[in-house]
Amino acid sequence: MKFTTCSTPVRYAETDQMKFVHHSNYLLYFEKARLDWLSSLGVSYSKMEQEGIFMPVVRANLVYKFPLFFGDCFTVEVILVKNPKATLEFDYYLYNQNGKLICHGNTVLAFLSAKTNRPMRCPEIIVRLFDFDKD
Amino acid sequence: MKFTTCSTPVRYAETDQMKFVHHSNYLLYFEKARLDWLSSLGVSYSKMEQEGIFMPVVRANLVYKFPLFFGDCFTVEVILVKNPKATLEFDYYLYNQNGKLICHGNTVLAFLSAKTNRPMRCPEIIVRLFDFDKD
Amino acid sequence: MKFTTCSTPVRYAETDQMKFVHHSNYLLYFEKARLDWLSSLGVSYSKMEQEGIFMPVVRANLVYKFPLFFGDCFTVEVILVKNPKATLEFDYYLYNQNGKLICHGNTVLAFLSAKTNRPMRCPEIIVRLFDFDKD
Amino acid sequence: MKFTTCSTPVRYAETDQMKFVHHSNYLLYFEKARLDWLSSLGVSYSKMEQEGIFMPVVRANLVYKFPLFFGDCFTVEVILVKNPKATLEFDYYLYNQNGKLICHGNTVLAFLSAKTNRPMRCPEIIVRLFDFDKD
């Protein structure tokens, strides 16, 4: 199961004085990509939060292959790694406008109950969305 | 009534490819300065929020005189402009390590009740802290 | 002369614990809007920088009317205030998906020579683009 | 070889609507910690850049154990993993004011020649600073 974002231009403020995108921004790009995916599947993450379910990132991994410059556009490919259980794991591949792989990474997200402030199992709505075996 | 922050080094990620601090960061520096002031007066803004009082910025004004570079340190002087009423107004003067005025600005903050989501009068605790006429 | 951006969704990381967009992000939204405008007119700001012309922000002004939430989308209307001279001045009006005015502001940009590190007059290419009187 | 930063308060803007620090900020905290270390050893990273040596991050790894809140302070322990060669590898342990481990991670940095825009060996100045075997 995978999803690819629209092409997104780099923001000027995302560069630093090395003259390319600061490495922390890729976590924002990955976050946007996975929330866009949820949204495209009809799941509003804001609604999930209002219902008391948070999805904090508990692990992240990034490999930076080439710089991304202001003036560049990028797409992010998001892949669900395995069936959602207590956590949700995604791989990301970020390409520039020439199809060059700029950065890839992986994040693991947990589910947190806003009421108890404790980990919880993956909500049914997410399980059903991302069930590998459903077809 | 005024307050001056400790000397703070510029973070690398705050620069952009113009090779100096991106102009949006000054709002973060000003915010930190006024929260440090409250904190130094014994007011925990986190506690205020827990008690249902938010202080959103409703106006901001910035004049950028000179660039600030990675490697530089800065201090912010915060001045309360007038007695707190429905809003709280601060002036800011940001200097680099050589005492050069880099940026000055002004922000107006409102008080928002988290319960009603509506503006409220300045809480008594803030009025008493910042009462010009008390001495 | 004016320009309106595409609809842009709020990024999750742009919120703070007040549960709406942190006020510093509007400077990033305004910046993106004016660079998109230049780009739509065929002017690459990256190229201008490579040719040694920087456009730092020298003044900024923001009025925050209503909060913007994660889940919201916004557009920015950018208006050139007067003929470009030593500075370039823009007004901004940011609306949410319901057409509600969320924030408006103004920035003044200067032109800086990368070689001399000193202010310079507005480059001809910008003068011609934004000449009010040309029609 | 290790270094521990001063205690640093969380900035308000670093939180998101989950009401704790957004996960991307830890990369900024780690960056600041390693640059503080270099600085404490008498190495100015700004000077290195002026001499044409960049140190981009090429890999990053983060494990988030507990949230960090506005009002919290943190310290970062930085450890050099092995003798610097073509890359420089650091481990990081970030603790809150109660000594609780909040996040740990690892980054690998490369050396990039600004002139050739290509990887280069670790500069002598860094080799000597971080030589495990020197004592």
pTM for the structure as a whole: 0.95
Does A24 contact chain B (CB < 8 Å)? yes
Chains that contact D by 3+ CB pairs under 8 Å? A, B, C
The per-residue pLDDT for A133 is 65
Q: Which of B16, B30, B10, B23 is nearest to B108 (CA)?
A: B30
Q: Map residue B25 onto helix, strand or coil.
A: helix
Residue A84 has pLDDT above 90, yes or no: no
Structure tokens at B129: 């802290």
Of B12, B19, B24, which is closest to A13 when you measure between CB atoms? B24
Q: pLDDT tens digits, residue range C50-92?
A: 999 999 999 999 999 999 999 999 999 999 998 888 899 999 9
| Domain span at D78 | 2-134
Does D54 contact chain A (CB < 8 Å)? yes
> Based on the structure, what is the number of domains in chain D?
1
- A15: domain CATH number? 3.10.129.10
Mean pLDDT throughout D123-135?
76
Work out how many CB contacts closer than 8 A connect B with C.
54
Lowest-pLDDT choice from A42-51, B55-64, C23-32, D1-10 = A42-51
Confidence of residue A127 (pLDDT cuts 50, 70, 90): confident
Question: Which residues 79-98 of D have a C-beta within 8 angstroms of C?
Answer: none
Lookup result for tokens 């973060």? B28
A133 has catalytic annotation: no
Confidence of residue D134 (pLDDT cuts 50, 70, 90): low
Beta bridge partners of D87: D110
Confidence of residue D84 (pLDDT cuts 50, 70, 90): confident
Confidence of residue C129 (pLDDT cuts 50, 70, 90): confident
Residue B132 has pLDDT above 60, yes or no: yes
Does C13 contact chain D (CB < 8 Å)? yes
Q: Residue B20: which residues within 8 A CB-CB, separation 6 or more?
A: A17, B67, B68, B69, C56
Mean pLDDT throughout C107-124?
91
Smallest CA–CA distance from C50 into chain A, residue: A19
Confidence of residue C10 (pLDDT cuts 50, 70, 90): very high
Smallest CA–CA distance from A20 into chain C, residue: C46
Distance from CA of D134 to the nearest CA of A (A): 31
**Which of D12, D17, D19, D23 to substitute to test the interface with C, most C CBs within 10 Å?**
D17
- Residue type for position D107: T
Are C62 and B60 in contact (CB < 8 Å)?
Answer: yes
CB C21 within 8 A of CB C8: no
Chain C contacts of A11, Cβ < 8 Å?
28, 31-32
